[in-house]
Structure 1
Amino acid sequence: MAQQLHARFAVHKTQILAEISSPGPDASPKGSIDIHILPLINRLNEHHKIITTSSCSGRMSVFLEGSKKLAGTDSEAIGEGPEPDEKAEFPSGSAGMGGKGGGKWLFVSHDPVDCIDMTPREVSHMLLGGHTLGLHSANNQVLTESVLSEAGTSVSSSTRLVHMKFEPMILHVQTLDLQTAHVILVAALTAGFRESGIMNLGLSEHSFPTIAIRCNGLVMDSIIGVMNASHPGIKMVVDEDYLKTMMLVSSLRFEDNKRRVDAFSRKIERVIFNQGQAPPKESKEERKMRKREEGLRRQRILRAAQTQGGSQL
């Protein structure tokens, strides 16, 4: 029985790895696996009892919702965009860059954006200029500043909202057995991914435990604009100073997210690969220099955020 289970998991893992490594873009906004999380998922996949199925190292994004029909009516409702990156998690017909129901990713970054020296207008243009993804209005007009200012702000069942988001790392891992899944879950929880959990338990005798590694405490989601069918473009409901403040806050959350990812990676090395042996530690001087650089960068971002916040009063 154990041999059959091992053989079935090996076949399952081979199929998933083949899908991940197949050529062509996947269904995520980026179109491929995020390079920042590749070392972690490659390391996990080296273990014969582990396979990663979907992942995103963390991202900041601006997303225009799509629309869909309400059940039993002809009216439209707000739609959702796709889940985080990696092709193994998506069926072949799932939404890609455009999002589900005609939604649009207006801006996506898996890295903090250094906008401290940018003006609020420059930040606004970067996020909502409409050039990167060719966003157009209902009458096929490029969304210029004048079009944005003329759009309506009423909200109804057909209103499409524009979200500005920060989403920390999310990682789904399947394991051969529950014992391995529990070890990974404990590593995730102690690294700060407090909303992690094990799924697929008891669904069927052929399902493998799946650990969803996530941290909702770092999630940020703010509505910054609306689009109505009766108007040709997006109407902003926040000012440009607010957008820059959100970008600065996202930079800080990228740093918090990276610390948790690094902590999780170190714990995985100890509990999965090194059998309790601690990895080599950085020297006191190296740690001092790293902490100093992190502190200086954090102070710079905080000062900019405080200045930006004060300018809105």
Structure 2
Amino acid sequence: MAASMRFQRWKEASQSGADFSKKGSIDSYIVSLVGFINSQENYFTTSSCSGRVCVYSENNLSGLKKKGCTWLYTTHEYAESGNILDAIKNSEEDAVFKFEPFVLHVQCKTLEDARIMHQVSVESGFRNSGISLGKSGKIITAVRSTHGLEVPLTSHGIVLVSDQYVEYLVKLANEKLEENMRRIDRFFSNLKIHMDQAKGHVSSSKTKNSSLNCGSCGQPITSTHSKGQKPAKHTGHVNPSRTEKNKTEKTQCNGDSKNMESDEIEDIGSLFNT
């Protein structure tokens, strides 16, 4: 009971407080997703980013990065090479081009709630997701992937690459942004299925036939997988109903200290298998 009340206080404090992010608001593409998670009794979000393309500059001293950086360009939508080229012309330091994929931190009421959130994340394509436990009892699931991109463009104000190469980087980043959006949509869809099943909103027959979408191709994971059949189109699928039985992949749990409270984090990833 005490733990439940403490979680509720944390949730109320988080949702009533100010948004301290640089932007000051939730990214438009994930407003519905964040709202849905926050409407669930056992979850609430603590930080999020839908994904972005940016250029920032940093000043290096004896090979060590100084704290902080200067943002030259950033967008949560498709980038344009002309804007990137204009941005690096104004840099007198070391400018870096970067694509950062979707990241979401969700505080969970119980370890079982965190396990479910992590399972949905991995099955939706966010395979670098993990679970962290703070000494104060806070349980955080970090939803994230590894398809980022980071390339230096200038050194001490000198442009190192051609305009053509910048155009190529922008094209590559925009393609990654498209895949990022598909994964977010898949995650949202799969999360709704899990939440409905958990609340009993789906009839037993419908629940039996409901399926998650594959993190690789986006197609449903069908019942044929429970029989060990793996159609060529769905190679590598893992049947959710056999997750507990086939514990072969250890949870990756690398807590993002920048998005957590100041209390020390204990890695408990080894307790959760998917």
With the length of structure 2 as denominator, give the TM-score of the two structures: 0.68
Over 3 Å counting, the alpha-carbon distance change for 1:111 and 1:210 in structure 2 is: same
> Aligned equivalents of 2:193 and 2:11: distance in 1?
23
Map of 1:210 onto structure 2: 140
Q: How far has the Cα of 1:66 moved from its partner?
A: 4.5
Over 3 Å counting, the alpha-carbon distance change for 1:125 and 1:192 in structure 2 is: same
Structure 1 unaligned spans of 5+: 69-74, 81-99, 138-159, 228-233, 282-286, 288-313
1:242 aligns with 2:165: yes
> Aligned equivalents of 2:110 and 2:94: distance in 1?
42
Over 3 Å counting, the alpha-carbon distance change for 1:254 and 1:166 in structure 2 is: same
- 8 A contact 2:46–2:105 mirrored in 1: yes
Alignment of 1:164-179 (within 5 A): 164-179=97-112
Alignment of 1:48-87 (within 5 A): 48-66=41-59, 77-79=64-66
- 8 A contact 1:123–1:244 mirrored in 2: no
Sequence identity of aligned pairs in percent? 25
1:225 to 154, 172, 187: 154
Over 3 Å counting, the alpha-carbon distance change for 1:27 and 1:45 in structure 2 is: closer
> Aligned equivalents of 2:130 and 2:34: distance in 1?
18
Map of 2:75 onto structure 1: 109
Q: How far has the Cα of 1:125 moved from its partner?
A: 3.6
Corresponding residue SS for 1:63:
strand
AA matched with 1:110: H
Q: How far has the Cα of 1:124 moved from its partner?
A: 4.5
Over 3 Å counting, the alpha-carbon distance change for 1:196 and 1:124 in structure 2 is: closer
Map of 2:237 onto structure 1: none
Structure 2 unaligned spans of 5+: 214-218, 220-274
Corresponding residue SS for 1:62:
strand
How many residues align structurally? 204
Q: How far has the Cα of 1:129 moved from its partner?
A: 5.0
Corresponding residue SS for 1:165:
strand
Corresponding residue SS for 1:221:
strand
> Aligned equivalents of 2:40 and 2:179: distance in 1?
27
> Aligned equivalents of 1:76 and 1:223: distance in 2?
14
1:128 to 65, 88, 95: 88
> Aligned equivalents of 1:246 and 1:60: distance in 2?
10
Q: How far has the Cα of 1:257 moved from its partner?
A: 0.4
- 8 A contact 1:57–1:170 mirrored in 2: yes
CA deviation digits over 1:131-162, x for unaligned, max 9? xxxx7x5xxxxxxxxxxxxxxxxxxxxxx532
- 8 A contact 1:50–1:175 mirrored in 2: yes
- 8 A contact 2:103–2:143 mirrored in 1: yes
Q: How far has the Cα of 1:34 moved from its partner?
A: 1.4
Alignment of 1:1-313 (within 5 A): 3-19=1-17, 22=18, 26-28=20-22, 30-66=23-59, 77-79=64-66, 100=68, 103-113=69-79, 115=80, 122-130=82-90, 160-200=93-133, 203-204=134-135, 206-216=136-146, 218-227=147-156, 234-275=157-198, 277=207, 278=210
Please report the RMSD computed on the Cα atoms of aligned residues, expressed in angstroms. Answer: 2.5
* Runs of 4+ more than 3 Å apart: 122-127, 273-279
Corresponding residue SS for 1:238:
coil
> Aligned equivalents of 2:14 and 2:83: distance in 1?
39
